[in-house]
Structure 1
Amino acid sequence: MSEHHRHDTAVSGRELTRSAISATLHCLTGCAIGEVLGIVIGTALGMSDGSTIALAVVLAFFFGYALTVRPVLRAGLSWRGAIKVALAADTLSILVMEIVDNAVLLIVPGAMEAGLASWLFWASLAFALAVAFVVTVPVNRWLIGRGKGHAVMHAYH
């Protein structure tokens, strides 16, 4: 990356990639908690695919933001400030991850109908989250390289 494209960021190259992987793992944790919980609840209640995915997405955003808000609050920011940081740090990352992992779940034949006791269900969910991780790392790398995304949290660590 040339100097004029870095926008005076503190990280580049391997350090930037490591930061992006770390940010994506953070995002994956919140998304996975919400995604698994939403899909388990939706599947157990016999909800439609659309309703199950909607619940999973809402919970993924909730847990993703919660994992950011908590340490930022501990750093002394107000609730309002912490929510602003979480929105800035995580929204695009969670959005990309959710679009990708739910698309993969819908593409895998029978994954949504497999049921909670099926290896197909759990293998498809794990595969979907892994694909979402791989797709989201470059998004976070791009954001952090421009001082956005998880880069806004660095002042609170």
Structure 2
Amino acid sequence: MPLQQFLKGIEHALAPVRHVMKPVLSDPLVMAVWALLVGASVGVLWWDIRKRNRALPSMMKGVWTLVVLYSGPFGLAIYWYSGRTQISHDSLWRRGLRSTAHCYSGCGAGEVLGFVLLAGLLALQSTLLVTAGTFALAYTFGYALTVGPLMQEGVGFGEAMLDALYSETPSITVMEITAIGTDLLIASQANIGDVLFWGALVFSLSVGFVFAFPINAALVRFGVKEGMKNPAEMGTEHQRNRAASTD
């Protein structure tokens, strides 16, 4: 079939990537060091939020926590550049990164749940079932992170869902094609007890973020997505409120 031939061609073209990454992501020492870096990064994130960035909404605190859990020091660097109230000025790149982080937090949760449940705990041997199930969970979590806040603001479910479909589908699709594809390319035969299972899952999440970022930046640039609010403005409002409460 043409589709199977196309997929085989992609797999063959990316074989060198698998050859390089598979030994790295299956090395227990590498993954132990990565786990330590992730733990330290989450600690720095929460120290900064509690000491300097309490003005961030609870949802964004959760978003950044998941981003750093998925991508460790790289996620922390993205937060530092685009998500803190201390940023010098906002820009398209910062708005694109915040928008991607928002999408990434929900889709990443769906992807992790999909692979752990379907390929790991249930040990399904069908690549098609694992892929379809993981895609479905990623879309569900990704849309929920948009629909939920809109409904809290008083928007009806139908309108909120239409907004999510319109604004989030392109970035979720690109993110999950690249992330799930990367995971299957590297670790399609790995079991939940293998280091490679977790190493490939972590790596694939960050790959998805990288490919989804230009899509989100373009959507923000052309007004399809508003992008997340400038955190510097939140910091200014927070300082004003604190000053008013002490008068």
| Smaller-chain TM-score bracket | 0.7 to 0.9
Conservation of the 8 A alpha-carbon contact between 2:95 and 2:227: no
Q: Output one character per residue of 1:40-76: Cα deviation in whole Å (capped at 9) or x when no partner.
A: 1112212112211110000000000001111000111
Alpha-carbon shift at residue 87 of structure 1 (Å): 1.0
AA of the residue aligned to 1:61? Y
The match for 1:139 among 210, 215, 232 is 215
Alpha-carbon shift at residue 135 of structure 1 (Å): 1.0
The match for 1:19 among 95, 106, 109 is 95
Q: Which runs of 5+ in 1 are unaligned?
A: 1-12
Alpha-carbon shift at residue 112 of structure 1 (Å): 2.3
Query: Which secondary structure does the structure 2 equivalent of 1:151 belong to?
Result: coil
Please give the alpha-carbon distance, in whole angstroms, between the structure 2 residues aligned to 1:79 and 1:115: 39
Please give the alpha-carbon distance, in whole angstroms, between the structure 1 residues aligned to 2:213 and 2:147: 21
- 2:180 is matched with which residue? 102
The match for 2:226 among 144, 151, 157 is 151
Conservation of the 8 A alpha-carbon contact between 1:97 and 1:136: yes
Please give the alpha-carbon distance, in whole angstroms, between the structure 2 residues aligned to 1:91 and 1:85: 10
- 2:8 is matched with which residue? none
TM-score with structure 2 length normalisation?
0.53
Greater Rg over alpha carbons, structure: 2
Q: Which runs of 5+ in 2 are unaligned?
A: 1-88, 230-247
- 2:117 is matched with which residue? 41
Q: Output one character per residue of 1:13-33: Cα deviation in whole Å (capped at 9) or x when no partner.
A: 961111111111111111111
Structure 1 runs (4+) deviating above 6 angstroms are: none
Please give the alpha-carbon distance, in whole angstroms, between the structure 2 residues aligned to 1:68 and 1:33: 14
Conservation of the 8 A alpha-carbon contact between 2:192 and 2:198: yes
- 1:31 is matched with which residue? 107
AA of the residue aligned to 1:36? V
RMSD, matched Cα: 1.7
- 2:238 is matched with which residue? none
Alpha-carbon shift at residue 115 of structure 1 (Å): 1.3
Conservation of the 8 A alpha-carbon contact between 1:85 and 1:152: no
1:53 is aligned to 2:128: no
Aligned length: 139
Conservation of the 8 A alpha-carbon contact between 1:89 and 1:153: no
Please give the alpha-carbon distance, in whole angstroms, between the structure 1 residues aligned to 2:215 and 2:145: 19
Alpha-carbon shift at residue 39 of structure 1 (Å): 0.9
Higher relative contact order (CA 8 A, sep 6+): 1
The match for 1:92 among 145, 170, 186 is 170
Conservation of the 8 A alpha-carbon contact between 1:89 and 1:151: no
TM-score with structure 1 length normalisation?
0.83
Conservation of the 8 A alpha-carbon contact between 1:105 and 1:125: yes
Please give the alpha-carbon distance, in whole angstroms, between the structure 1 residues aligned to 2:137 and 2:150: 20
